[in-house]
Amino acid sequence: MKPQLPLALSTVLALTAAGCSKPDSTQEAATTTETKTEVAMETSVQESNPFFTESPLYMQYPQFDKIENSHYKPAFERGMQEHLLEIDAIVNQEEAPTLDNTLIPMEKSGQLLNRVARVFFSMTSANTNDTLEEIRSEMAPKLSAHNDQILLNEKLFARVQAIYDARDDVELDPESYRLIERVYTDFVRAGAQLSAEEKEKIKAINSDLATLQTAFSQNVLNEVNASAVVVETREELTGMSETKIEAAAQAAKAKDMEGKYLLALLNTSQQPPLASLEDRALRQRIMESSLARGSRGGDYDNREELTRVAKLRAERARLMGYENHAAFSLETQTAKTTTAVNDLLARLAPAAVANAKREAADMQSIIDSEGGDFQLASWDWDFYAEKVRKQRYDFDASQLRPYFEFDNVLTKGVFFAAEKVYGLTFKERHDLPVYQEDVRVFEVFDADGSTLALFIMDPFARPSKRGGAWMNAYVSQSNLMGDKPVVANHLNITKPTDGGPTLLTFNEVTTTFHEFGHALHGMFSNVKYPYFSGTSVPRDFVEYPSQVNEMWRIWPEILANYAVHHETGEAMPQELLDKVLATQRFNQGYSTTEYLAASLLDQSWHQMKPEEVPDAEGLLAFEAAALENAGVALDTVPPRYRSTYFSHIIGGYSAGYYAYIWSEVLDADTVEWFKANGGMTRENGDHFRQTLLSHGGATDAMTLFRNFRGADPDIQPLLVRRGLD
3-state secondary structure 647-696: HHHHCCCCCCCCHHHHHHHHHHHHHHHHHHCCCCCHHHHHHHHHHCHHHC
**For 406, left (φ over 0), alpha (ψ -120 to 50), or beta?**
alpha
Total Cβ atoms within 10 A of residue 369 = 9
3-state secondary structure 175-204: HHHHHHHHHHHHHHHHCCCCCHHHHHHHHH
Region for residue 239 given its phi and psi (left: phi exceeds 0; alpha: psi -120 to 50; beta: otherwise): left
In DSSP notation, 261-300 reads EEEPPPSSSS-GGGGT---HHHHHHHHHHHHHTTSSSSTT
Secondary element (H or E) of residue 489 = strand 486-493
Q: Which residues of 513-523 are buried (b: 16+ CB within 10 A; e: fewer)?
A: bbbbbbbbbbb
Which is catalytic among the residues 77, 107, 515, 623? 515
Per the annotation, the verdict on 515 as an active-site residue is yes
CA angle 79, 81, 87 (to 5 degrees): 100
Q: Is 449 left (phi over 0), alpha (psi -120 to 50) or beta?
A: left
∠ Cα 572 576 577 (to 5°): 70
**End-to-end Cα spacing for the chain:** 56
Burial zone of 307 (CB within 10 Å; 0-12 exposed, 13-18 middle, 19+ buried): buried
Beta bridge partners of 444: 426, 453
Catalytic (active-site) positions: 515
